[in-house]
Amino acid sequence: QVQLVESGGGLVQAGGSLRLSCAASGSIFRINTMGWYRQAPGKQRELVAAITSSGTTNYADSVKGRFTISRDNAKNTVYLQMNSLKPEDTAVYYCNLRQIYTDYWGQGTQVTVSS
Query: Confidence class of residue 110 from pLDDT cuts 50, 70 and 90?
Result: very high
Average pLDDT over residues 33-56: 97
Query: Confidence class of residue 97 from pLDDT cuts 50, 70 and 90?
Result: very high
Contacts of 71 (CB under 8 A, 6+ apart): 34, 51, 53, 55, 77, 78, 79
